[in-house]
Amino acid sequence: MSHEASRPEGRGVGALAELRDAISTRAVLVMLGVLLLQLGFALSYMGAFHAPKPHRIPMVVVAPQAVEKDLVNRLNALPGEPLQVSAVTDRAQARARLLDRRADAVLVVAVAGRTDTLLVASAGGPSAGDAAMKILQTVDRTQDRQVVVRDIRPPAAGDSRGLSSFYLVLSWTIGGYLAASALNMAAGSKRPTLRRALVRLAAMVPYAFISGIGGAIIVGPVLNCLPGSFWELVGIGTLVVFASGAVGVALQSLAGTIGLGLTILIFTILGNPSSGGVYPASLLPPFWRAVGQALPPGAGTTVVRNTVYFDGNATTGALWILGAWAFAGIVVTILSAALHGRRRPVRAEAAGTTA
């Protein structure tokens, strides 16, 4: 009887041991990290996109002098400040501001008649122009006026909603940090020595260049999404992929597997919804509006769009941002590897003394 009574207990202990062997504490912690990233995706994307609300959309007005000041003041005083309006003297100057990316819309008030014209450049993303049009239509109805829209810089035929720049940069950033992760896993997830860190960074250079060429071929000759500017796109892609990869190498040098999660947090969870690819900063909530252009996805999307459609206007700051992330990744990787290399001899010496 005592032998039979002990068998269920033995099976229970064996099952518990098998469960512990199958699901280690480390596996539970990794799953918890994945859960947090999953919830972060939901919070970030839905938080940024669920209720886009215009805030200070940059707009230029060309109007007869008699009504100009009153119109600008009235539009700037709209509840919630959906528009940020300034006046210029003529249509050519206003058009230049639109194509220089200093404005998202231009309102040309008719000198005679009651039909005004709204100029937009939807290649830079149609959302801001659409929002400005809806606001002006509401305002004009109260003044018994109408507004018609003229798109002076539409996207290419294969880029109907102007989103190809965003998706291209998305693929480049994900490819960069996944390549860094692959290098880390190939070394058994060991934190690198200085030599190994330099080799990993060097390996990212040809990978980034090939990624830039591949992306430029896909959006150019293959799909005709972003025609022209082939070699400019190759250069931009090389910089974006290397910046993403260098940061991935750096964070995984510092924190191992956790570093990959931090890279996903920066580039995908925070960077993508705030990038301006789907909605511009003027339609995003305050947090996403503040961080978007400081992160590589936002800077990369701006550089690609403005290079392909707007002759490279307003790209200098975004290029500096990408360069800064790449440089920071290099510096942090080298410092982390050097510091880790210093600690190992100290530990080895301490172990020898103890022995």
CA dihedral 290, 295, 297, 300 (to 10 degrees): 100
In the chain, what is the straight-line distance between the N-terminal and C-terminal CA atoms, in Å? 52
Strands (E), 126-194: 146-151
Q: Which long-range contacts (CB under 8 A, 24 or more apart) does 14-21 make?
A: none
Tell me how far apart the alpha carbons of residues 11 and 311 are, in angstroms, rounded to a whole number: 73
The neighbouring-strand residues paired with 57 are: 83
Residue-level length of the chain:
355
Tell me how far apart the alpha carbons of residues 256 and 116 are, in angstroms, rounded to a whole number: 59
Q: What is the mean pLDDT of residues 154-181?
A: 91
Tell me how far apart the alpha carbons of residues 97 and 84 are, in angstroms, rounded to a whole number: 14
Strands (E), the chain: 57-62, 83-87, 105-108, 115-120, 146-151
Residues 186-242: pLDDT tens digits? 655 556 678 888 888 999 999 999 999 999 999 999 999 998 899 999 999 999 999
Percent of the chain past pLDDT 90, that is, above it, reads 47
Tell me how far apart the alpha carbons of residues 33 and 225 are, in angstroms, rounded to a whole number: 36
Tell me how far apart the alpha carbons of residues 246 and 102 are, in angstroms, rounded to a whole number: 32
> What is the pLDDT at residue 136?
87
Q: Is 248 helix (H, G, I), strand (E, B) or coil?
A: helix
pTM: predicted TM-score of the whole model, two decimal places:
0.85
pLDDT class of 87 with cuts at 50, 70, 90:
very high
In sequence order, what are the residues at sequence separation of 6 or more whose Cβ sits closer than 8 angstroms to the Cβ of residue 112? none
How many other CB atoms are found less than 10 A from the CB of residue 249? 31
> What is the pLDDT at residue 11?
59
Q: How high does pLDDT run on average in the chain? A: 85
The neighbouring-strand residues paired with 118 are: 107, 149
Please check whether residue 49 is in contact with residue 278, taking contact to mean a CB–CB distance below 8 angstroms.
yes
> What is the pLDDT at residue 143?
77
164-186 vs 296-309: helix axis angle to the nearest 10? Answer: 140
Q: If you search the block for the tokens 């829209």, which residue do you land on?
A: 149
164-186 vs 194-217: helix axis angle to the nearest 10? Answer: 150
The arrangement of strands across the sheet holding 105-108 comes to 83-87, 57-62, 105-108, 115-120, 146-151
Residues 20-29: pLDDT tens digits? 666 667 667 7
Q: What is the mean pLDDT of residues 127-156?
A: 86
> What is the pLDDT at residue 253?
84
> What is the pLDDT at residue 350?
45
How many Å separate Cα 108 from the centre of its chain? 33
Q: If you search the block for the tokens 């511009």, which residue do you land on?
A: 280
Q: What is the mean pLDDT of residues 27-54?
A: 80
> What is the pLDDT at residue 355?
46
